[in-house]
Amino acid sequence: MECFSGYAGICYHTRDPIMMYIPRPKRRKRYPRIILLLILAAVCVGGFVSFGPPRLYARSGTPEFCASCHVMESEYENWFHNAGHRRQKCIDCHLPNDTEVRHVVRKGLEGMWDSYVFYAGRVPETIRLSEKGREILRENCVRCHGELVSRIKEDRDCWVCHRGLSHRSTGTL
């Protein structure tokens, strides 16, 4: 009988492909390892940002950090002289505060977007809220002033009536 070599030096006595069985090498799944490495990398980056360079995450939540960008200096000054919300930080109004995950994700996205706009030289003359920013601001108004807002029947932005609370026109309620 004639011997035809197959996979791994195994001798087969037929050329008929139906009768010939060639075992395939076992493939290990890489996905669990890749996912584990991505999770580990995310935890390392998050830990570095949170606790690394002198608590960058905590510091980035202060009004002084927001004002460190010269584009935001006038907004900071207006906020500082606004008696209505001077005790609130920028992130109390401008980032979602319902869940920690949503807050952190939005903070990262907004920070990256603001950096892009600043370094690409695309800062507008007048800084305005995006539609998503308006939704978040409205949610936070309701979160803090829920009792008062529940008595209002109209569905409009709080700053339509409370124009003195915007960064462009300071004043009290």
CB neighbour class for 92 (10 Å; exposed up to 12, middle 13-18, buried from 19): middle
Could you tell me if residue 123 is inside a domain?
A: yes
Overall number of domains in the chain = 1
Could you tell me if residue 3 is inside a domain?
A: no
Structural domain boundaries enclosing 100:
55-165
Could you tell me if residue 14 is inside a domain?
A: no
Indicate the pLDDT class of residue 172, thresholds 50, 70 and 90: very low
Could you tell me if residue 1 is inside a domain?
A: no
For 78-132, write each residue's pLDDT tens digit.
888 876 787 888 899 899 999 988 998 898 888 888 888 888 988 888 888 889 9
Could you tell me if residue 148 is inside a domain?
A: yes
Could you tell me if residue 42 is inside a domain?
A: no
Residues 155/161, Cβ–Cβ less than 8 Å: no
Q: How far apart are CA 71 and CA 75, in angstroms?
A: 8
What local confidence, expressed as pLDDT, does residue 37 receive? 92
Could you tell me if residue 41 is inside a domain?
A: no
CA distances from 60 to 40, 51, 123, 150, 152 (A): 23, 12, 20, 33, 35
Q: What is the CATH number of the domain that holds 141?
A: 1.10.3820.10
For 3-36, write each residue's pLDDT tens digit.
555 555 555 555 555 555 666 666 666 678 888 9
For the beta carbon of residue 136, count every other beta carbon within 10 angstroms: 20
Q: How far apart are CA 2 and CA 122, in angstroms?
A: 77
